[in-house]
Amino acid sequence: MNMKKVLSALLVSAMAMSLTACGGSGGSDSAADASSSAASADGTTTITIWSPTDKEAVEAWWTEKLAEWNEAHPEIQVSREAIDRSDSYAYENKITTAVTSSDLPDIFYVDGPTISYYAANGIIVPMDDYFPQDELSDFVDSTVAQCTYDGKLYAISATESSVALYYNKDYLTECGVDVADIESRTLDNPLTWSELEEIAKKCTTDNYVGTHIIMDHGEGLPYALEPMFISNGKDFVSADGSEAEGYINSKECVETAEYLANLIANGYANIDPIQDEFLNGACATMLGGSWDVSILEASADFDWGVTYYPVSDTTKAAVSPCGDWSAAISKDCKNVDAAGQFLQWLINSENVATYAAAIAKPATRNSSYENAAMAEYADGPRALFVEQLQNTAVPRPRTPSYSVLSTKYAEAMTNIFSEAASSHTVDAAYIQSELDAVAAAFKEDYDMYYAN
């Protein structure tokens, strides 16, 4: 009888174990097939690359380019593994698990702001030798800044991205907005926040919201919205990336968050916008990425335009988002020289041009725009994005605690927006408390792992 009790107790705990344990084991299916570079007996080096899966044109570009390289360089054979990026953080989780099990490939693609985090933790190694200063001068400043940590170049990118304000010309005209005025704007006098709010107000009806400010509830929030904060006078963290207190929770940042929350509270923007809200004619304007141009060209059944990223009324300082996936060499790479040589070739002016054309993103190299593949960037909406990149782009904070900053900020903004959406008012004290929490979490992480 007693034995039976003990046995059944054991059974229950085993059951609990099996059920609780299978919840957490999902992350460990990392690449068993990823082999780090190894020189085989005949002196051939193999290099493995991880990068996010992309659309067909990009996948085709990779196949073609790798075949080209492998044929010309029998001694350095390169292969690529496309990694699914099913949600905002899935790819990063895979890199993280690969680090813990020493399964990192030789080269992997990193999203811009994560570079500092990996660099500070020694996951990726400097590559200044392969991209000296005179070579880097061909790249837009924003990408060089984003790829540099502690004075060293840790990654290199072929493409950049930017965000600007798309507007539905047909619908704005219908609502009595002066479209000609918007079209006449230049980088010296972009729309201000109050002008954007005015437009959004005019255009909000039962079937339309005035604008669209939420790309997703993850990395999209700091990516698309940080320049608003900078434009209003304060960045998320100090310039050296060590301090968030007095920055993210400063008076200026609270003000910026209030402005954004106000758009949600008044119903001018949706808190959970549908997929392709602008394309589907459900919002009048949107803060959209440079990649949206080709989508709209292909599918929009209305006349649309793009104008510069809006600026704060108080400072009128033009700032714009940027950042894209960049190639970095991992600490587990056995033949850094081979990887560096390969990247030198992969990110040369011509390859950058064809890659940028395939992925429909602006190129990082100024010289690439002379290539025929980049012809459509000469004027129109694409030229506007390039103009922003060359003049007003500011990379996301370069701090080793970026992953904490990003997730905590995204959480805080989602909370702030939810509060605004359900109460239809904006509570400055609540915004302050949420942003204070971001600053506190940042400090805790920075002090624990990176201070001293």
Partner 1 sequence: MSKTSSLTDRKRNERTAAYIFTVPAMFLLFAFLVVPILYTVYYSLFQYQIVRPDNITFIGLKNYLKLFTDENFWLALRNTVYFTVLVVPFQCVLALALAMLVSSRFRGVAIFRTMYFSPQLTSMVVISILWTVLYNSNPNTGLINSFLTSLGLEPINFLTNSKTAMNSIIFMSGWQGAGYQMMIFLAGLQGIPRDQYEAASVDGANKVQQFLYITLPGLKGTIKYVVMITMIQAMKLFTQPYVMTQGGPKNSTRTLVYYIYTQGFQQGNFGYACAVAAVFFVIVVIMSLSMKKLIAETN
**Segment contacting partner 1 by CB under 8 A, of 155-163, 241-249, 333-341, 403-411:** 403-411
Residues ≥6 apart with Cβ < 8 Å to 88: 216, 217, 218, 219, 220
Residue 393 carries which DSSP code?
A: B
- Return d(Cα 278, Cα 176) in angstroms, integer: 19
The answer to the question of residue 10 lying near partner 1 (CB under 8 A) is: no
Q: Which is nearer to partner 1, 313 or 436 (CB)?
A: 436
Closer CB to partner 1, 208 or 342, in the complex: 208
**Secondary structure of residue 115 in the 3-state scheme:** helix
**Shortest CB 324 distance to partner 1, Å:** 21
* Only segment of 75-83, 158-166, 364-372, 401-409 that touches partner 1 (CB under 8 A): 401-409
The footprint of partner 1 on residues 180-209 (CB under 8 A) is 207
Q: Is 238 a residue that touches partner 1 (CB under 8 A)?
A: no
Nearer to partner 1 by Cβ, of 270 and 371: the residue is 270
Decide: is 89 part of the binding site for partner 1 (CB under 8 A): yes
452 touching partner 1, by CB under 8 A:
no
- Spell out, one character per residue from 266 to 295, where the chain touches partner 1: x when CB under 8 A holds, - when not: ----xxx-x-------x-------------
Q: Which is nearer to partner 1, 253 or 420 (CB)?
A: 420
- Binding of partner 1 at residue 103 (CB under 8 A)? no
First to last CA, the chain: 61
122 binds partner 1 per the rule CB under 8 A: yes
Which CB, 58 or 416, lies closer to partner 1?
A: 416
Q: How far apart are CA 135 and CA 155, in angstroms?
A: 14
- One of 53, 70, 79, 100 touching partner 1 (CB under 8 A): 100
Nearest to 62 by CA among 386, 337, 332, 325: 325
DSSP per position, 241-265? S---TTTTTSHHHHHHHHHHHHHHH
Residue count, binding to partner 1 (CB under 8 A): 50
H/E element holding 288? Answer: strand 285-289
- Residue 118 as a binder of partner 1 (CB under 8 A): the answer is yes
As a dihedral over the C-alpha atoms of residue 67, residue 72, residue 75, residue 79, rounded to 10 degrees, the angle is -20
Of 36, 414, 432, 433, the residue at the interface with partner 1 (CB under 8 A) is 414
Nearer to partner 1, 13 or 194 (CB): 13
Rule CB under 8 A: choose which of 93, 184, 189, 314 binds partner 1. 93
Task: Compute the distance between CA of residue 366 and CA of residue 363 in angstroms, rounded to an integer.
Answer: 7
Which amino acid is it at 152? K
Sign of CA dihedral 31, 80, 89, 270: negative
**Pairwise CA distance, residues 76 & 78, whole Å:** 6
| DSSP string for residues in 224-241 | HHHHHHHHTT--SS-TTS
In this chain, which stretch among 181-189, 249-257, 292-300, 415-423 interacts with partner 1, using CB under 8 A?
A: 415-423
Residue 407: closest CA among 160, 122, 150, 117:
117
**In contact, 45 and 37? CB cutoff 8 Å:** yes
In the complex, the residues that contact partner 1 under the rule CB under 8 A are 8-9, 12-21, 23-25, 27, 89, 93, 96, 99-100, 117-118, 121-123, 207, 217-218, 270-272, 274, 282, 403-404, 407, 410-411, 414-415, 417-419, 421-422, 441, 445, 448-449
